[in-house]
């Protein structure tokens, strides 16, 4: 029997190979508990296999195990299915590796486990050394036994503009999946699935979250058999015939990440956010101004210069020209793919606007949707063979556009050249990269290739970032593509096309389960909101955007003098605190359905914090329960000040309290009215 242990910062994982050859994954939260992880014991019943199989690493069918197999594949020449042999368990220093091989067919599956902080990172590779091609039906990036305490499954659902709705389901037996078939992760939470024990919440209970770093079709699943054994799965979905592994070839499957918490969802969120920060660039997050909900398609040189001046007066530091700037683009029915400036609207090109933006001490950014093409465009008329679709069926449009086949090298070369021409001609520091429809169908000449589209997108983004120091925002009709795969190639996410501040509280919270707050753009939108019709106070809208990458997406000329003053004060506060906020951790002091919504940003050394309290409805009772905080240092004394967005003074002292007292007894605050918010600053004294 072989037992190996791998340590993270606080956590550890133990793998054990039994005398039968099976390799068991023993869940562990803390290094000190490593000795409490013996493999599961099965009761042998008359109808059981003589040697109970149970879940293990590299599981295979054929020995009485009927759960999820590591790989399902077959040899195209002989029709023989792949069957993995006895795994090999190895300690490779910074990782533990489990390898299993089908000796007859010459295919090998290797899974390496490593830690990024306390996030367990799982990398699986397929290698083919045999003589005949192997067709891969499915293969798991991560396939692990689920903990026996997991009784509920949490996923997210939603639609365009309605992302981030939490779905919690009891899990006793059977299979529950989180699927993405649209060619991009989608609005329903993407490739993320969580398990928890009963009544697990933000600050209590054991939690486990599994995430797949992949921006294409995916499957995440939790499956419990009738014998009580359970597995969790993360994998890229393969279309029929999509993946054929030829002799001598190898294939790296998308990376999976796993976080385990024994003290609620906040700890798990911190673990994943910390790991994701290591994969991205550390940047100052300038205050955005985006033209979309200010002008929509009605953009031109004069109006945009006026917007830039107004935005700069409010404190904006980056001006992003959204859709409508390129040749012939007056609505969403035309011109995608023709990435040249419309001289009817910008007769001198973008130069005068960019000069005005720079004069106002702002950076210039530009909206693009490179993956798409309009049927009414010069590009499509020249290259109708460049789009995805069936050869013998009408092309299916979405938002009046088609999808370019990025897997064609000439398509990616054209896109790189087109974008490079803009970056070479103009001083553009930022690209908003949009993707406004799913892939349907993701075929070329009748052959499905959704994964090739994602891989080609990654390659194009990598090529651009290597050639230009430009920041890139990932937008997919808002939050349709938020995952750790695209995060390695982009710097910011547009979490939703909904700028309604009430909706954004839910949307930002859900997206922030994986992504750090500073990578999630959140903008102050118009009132009434163009999507929901809600009229919300400026102070509420400002506070809703505060715990993200702050921005403005409205016409400043429509703001009253009072609204402008509130917004400017909020921007000044954001600038004063973002340097530590965006290196700190966002924790929740309320659950998703609670009102008020209470969130806290805590500096990495716990010396300061900002508490945001957002009430969306009328309090149930005049007597407000004390507000207990979380995540502070027990032994620290904090001075509390409330920041006021309206009136004078800006700072209202609230007293000094211990971290222990704030977390056990809490703050005694008045109930507040509906659609009001409060921002309280804590700083260590002494």
pLDDT tens digit sequence for 464-520: 999 999 999 999 999 999 999 999 999 999 999 999 999 999 999 999 999 999 999
Cβ pair 105, 132 in contact under 8 A: yes
* Confidence tier at 177 by pLDDT (50, 70, 90): very high
For residues 79 and 211, give the distance between their C-alpha atoms in angstroms, rounded to a whole number.
33
The residue behind tokens 């939108």 is 525
Q: What are the tens digits of pLDDT across the range 550-598?
A: 999 999 999 999 999 999 999 999 999 999 999 999 999 999 999 999 9
Task: Average the pLDDT over each of 41-45, 298-302, 521-525 and give the range with the smallest value.
Answer: 41-45
**pLDDT beyond 80 at 528:** yes
Task: Average the pLDDT over each of 21-30, 283-292, 531-540 and give the range with the smallest value.
Answer: 21-30
Cβ pair 666, 654 in contact under 8 A: no
Residues 6+ apart with CB under 8 A from 535: 527, 528, 529
* Confidence tier at 669 by pLDDT (50, 70, 90): confident
pLDDT confidence of residue 37: 62
Tokens of 609: 């914090």
**pLDDT beyond 60 at 545:** yes
pLDDT confidence of residue 49: 66
Cβ pair 457, 406 in contact under 8 A: yes
Question: What DSSP element (H or E) covers 193?
Answer: strand 192-196
Largest CA distance in the chain: 84
Catalytic residues: 434, 497
Q: Can you state the angle between helices 301-314 and 561-581, rounded to 10 degrees?
A: 70
Q: Is the CA virtual torsion 181, 186, 192, 194 positive or negative? A: negative
Q: What is the mean pLDDT of residues 150-157?
A: 95
pLDDT confidence of residue 189: 85
* Confidence tier at 40 by pLDDT (50, 70, 90): low
Q: How many helices, marked H, and strands, marked E, lie in the chain?
A: 12, 38
pLDDT confidence of residue 29: 72
pLDDT confidence of residue 623: 80
Q: How far apart are the first and last CA of the chain?
A: 55
**What share of the chain has pLDDT > 90, as a percent?**
87
DSSP designation for 424: H
For residues 547 and 309, give the distance between their C-alpha atoms in angstroms, rounded to a whole number.
26
Closest CA to 300 of 337, 344, 334: 344
pLDDT confidence of residue 227: 81
Q: Strands, DSSP E only, in 450-605?
A: 471-474, 492-494, 520-524, 549-552, 585-588, 597-602
| Pure H helices in 254-350 | 265-279, 292-295, 301-314
* Confidence tier at 30 by pLDDT (50, 70, 90): confident
More confident residue, 392 or 465: 465
By DSSP bridging, strand 152-157 and strand 256-261 are: unpaired
Helix (H, G, I), strand (E, B) or coil at 551: strand
Q: How many Cα atoms sit within 13 Å of 56 on the Cβ side? A: 29
The residue behind tokens 């609005």 is 187
Indicate the average pLDDT of the chain: 94
Q: What are the tens digits of pLDDT across the range 598-620?
A: 999 999 999 999 999 999 999 88
For residues 514 and 155, give the distance between their C-alpha atoms in angstroms, rounded to a whole number.
13
Cβ pair 426, 363 in contact under 8 A: no
pLDDT confidence of residue 663: 96
Angle at Cα 112 formed by Cα 111 and Cα 114, nearest 5°?
150
DSSP 65-97: --S--SEEEEETTT-PBP-----EEEE-SS-EE
CATH 2.70.98.60 domain extents, the chain: 2-248
Cα separations (Å) of 306 from 58, 83, 114, 572? 62, 67, 52, 22
* Confidence tier at 50 by pLDDT (50, 70, 90): low
User: 2-248: CATH homologous superfamily?
Assistant: alpha-galactosidase from lactobacil brevis (2.70.98.60)
pLDDT confidence of residue 47: 63
DSSP designation for 395: P
Question: What DSSP element (H or E) covers 382?
Answer: helix 378-382
Helix (H, G, I), strand (E, B) or coil at 211: strand
Sheet strand arrangement including 23-26: 2-7, 12-17, 23-26
CATH 2.60.40.1180 domain extents, the chain: 587-684
* Confidence tier at 18 by pLDDT (50, 70, 90): confident
Tokens of 596: 């008020």
Closest CA to 181 of 210, 211, 219: 219
Cβ pair 301, 348 in contact under 8 A: yes
**Within 10 A of 29 (CB to CB), how many other CB atoms are there?**
22
pLDDT confidence of residue 55: 78
The 3-class secondary structure across 564-587, one letter per residue, is: HHHHHHHHHHHHHHHHHHCCCEEE
Closest CA to 349 of 425, 432, 430: 425
Q: What is the mean pLDDT of residues 399-424?
A: 97
Looking at the DSSP assignment, which residues form a beta bridge with residue 196? 152, 207
Closest CA to 281 of 472, 545, 55: 472
Cβ pair 325, 301 in contact under 8 A: no
- Long-range contacts, 491-496 (Cβ 8 Å, 24+): 491/280, 491/281, 491/283, 491/519, 492/285, 492/519, 492/520, 492/521, 492/549, 493/519, 493/520, 493/521, 494/432, 494/521, 495/163, 495/520, 495/521, 495/522, 495/548, 496/161, 496/163, 496/164
The 3-class secondary structure across 346-372, one letter per residue, is: CCCCCHHHHHHHHHCCCEEEEEECCCE
Residues 6+ apart with CB under 8 A from 683: 607, 608, 638, 639, 641
**pLDDT beyond 60 at 42:** no
pTM: 0.96
Cβ pair 522, 495 in contact under 8 A: yes
Looking at the DSSP assignment, which residues form a beta bridge with residue 612? 599, 679
Angle at Cα 253 formed by Cα 248 and Cα 451, nearest 5°?
95
Alpha-carbon 477 to chain mean position: 14
Cβ pair 134, 74 in contact under 8 A: yes
Closest CA to 480 of 461, 494, 462, 491: 494
For residues 573 and 680, give the distance between their C-alpha atoms in angstroms, rounded to a whole number.
12
Helix (H, G, I), strand (E, B) or coil at 397: coil
**Within 10 A of 661 (CB to CB), how many other CB atoms are there?**
17
For residues 539 and 652, give the distance between their C-alpha atoms in angstroms, rounded to a whole number.
16
Closest CA to 311 of 580, 557, 583: 557
**pLDDT beyond 80 at 38:** no
Q: What are the tens digits of pLDDT across the range 85-134?
A: 999 999 999 999 999 999 999 999 999 999 999 999 999 999 999 999 99
Q: What is the CATH number assigned to the segment(s) 587-684?
A: 2.60.40.1180
């Amino acid at each position: 029997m072989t037992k190996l242990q791998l340590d993270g910062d606080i956590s550890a994982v133990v793998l054990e190979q039994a005398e039968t050859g099976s390799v068991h994954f023993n869940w562990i939260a803390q290094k000190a508990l490593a000795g409490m992880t013996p493999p599961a014991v099965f009761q042998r019943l008359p109808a059981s296999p003589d040697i109970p199989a149970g879940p293990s690493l590299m599981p295979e069918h054929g020995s009485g195990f009927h759960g999820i197999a590591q790989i399902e594949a077959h040899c195209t020449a002989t029709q023989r299915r792949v069957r993995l042999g006895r795994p090999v368990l190895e300690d490779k220093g910074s990782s533990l590796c489990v390898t299993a091989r089908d000796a007859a067919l010459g295919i090998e599956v290797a899974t390496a486990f490593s830690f990024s902080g306390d996030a367990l990172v799982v990398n699986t590779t397929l290698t083919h050394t045999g003589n005949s091609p192997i067709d891969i039906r499915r293969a798991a990036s991560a396939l692990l036994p689920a903990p026996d305490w997991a009784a509920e499954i949490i996923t997210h659902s939603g639609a365009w503009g309605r992302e981030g709705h939490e779905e919690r389901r009891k899990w006793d037996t059977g299979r529950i999946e989180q699927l993405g078939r649209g060619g991009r992760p989608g609005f329903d939470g993407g490739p993320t699935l969580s398990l928890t024990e009963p009544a697990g919440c933000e600050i209590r209970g054991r939690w486990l979250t599994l995430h797949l770093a992949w921006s294409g079709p995916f499957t995440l699943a939790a499956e419990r058999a009738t014998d009580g054994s359970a597995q969790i799965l993360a994998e890229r979905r393969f279309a029929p015939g999509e993946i054929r592994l030829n002799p001598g070839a190898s294939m790296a499957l998308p990376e999976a990440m796993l976080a385990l918490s024994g003290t609620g969802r906040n700890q798990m969120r911190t673990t994943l956010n910390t790991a994701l920060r290591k994969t991205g660039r550390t940047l100052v997050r300038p205050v955005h101004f985006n033209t979309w909900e200010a002008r929509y398609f009605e953009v031109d040189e004069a109006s945009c210069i006026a917007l830039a001046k107004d935005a700069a007066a409010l404190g904006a530091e980056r001006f992003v020209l959204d859709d409508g700037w390129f040749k012939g683009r007056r609505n969403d029915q035309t011109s995608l793919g023709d990435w040249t400036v419309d001289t009817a609207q910008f007769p001198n090109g973008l130069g005068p606007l960019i000069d005005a933006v720079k004069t106002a001490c702002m950076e210039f950014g530009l909206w693009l949707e490179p993956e798409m093409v309009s049927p009414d465009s010069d590009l499509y008329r020249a290259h109708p063979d460049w789009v995805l679709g069936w050869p013998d069926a009408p092309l299916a449009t979405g938002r009046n556009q088609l999808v370019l086949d990025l897997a064609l090298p000439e398509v990616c070369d054209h896109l790189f050249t087109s974008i490079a021409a803009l970056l070479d001609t103009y001083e553009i520091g930022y690209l908003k990269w949009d993707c406004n429809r799913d892939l349907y169908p993701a075929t070329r000449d009748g052959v499905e290739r959704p994964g090739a589209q994602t891989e080609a997108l990654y390659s194009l983004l990598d090529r651009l970032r290597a050639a230009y120091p430009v920041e890139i925002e990932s937008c997919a009709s808002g939050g349709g593509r938020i995952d750790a795969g695209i995060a390695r190639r982009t710097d910011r996410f547009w979490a939703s096309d909904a700028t309604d501040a009430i909706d954004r509280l839910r949307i930002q919270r859900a997206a922030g389960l994986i992504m750090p707050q500073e990578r999630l753009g959140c903008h102050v939108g118009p009132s009434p909101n163009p999507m929901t019709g809600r009229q919300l106070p400026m102070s509420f809208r400002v506070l809703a955007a505060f715990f993200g990458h702050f921005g403005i997406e409205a016409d400043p000329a429509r703001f009253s003098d009072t609204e402008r003053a509130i917004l400017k004060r909020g921007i000044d506060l954001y600038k004063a605190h973002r340097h530590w906020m965006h290196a700190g951790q966002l924790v929740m002091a309320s659950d998703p359905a609670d009102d008020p919504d209470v969130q806290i940003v805590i500096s990495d050394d716990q010396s300061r914090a900002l508490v945001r309290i957002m009430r969306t409805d009328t309090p149930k009772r005049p007597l407000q329960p004390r507000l207990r905080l979380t995540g502070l240092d027990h032994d620290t004394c904090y001075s509390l000040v409330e920041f006021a967005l309206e009136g004078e003074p800006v700072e209202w002292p609230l007293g000094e309290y211990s971290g222990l007292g704030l977390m056990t007894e809490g703050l005694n605050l008045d109930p507040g009215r509906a659609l009001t918010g409060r921002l309280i600053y804590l700083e260590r004294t002494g």
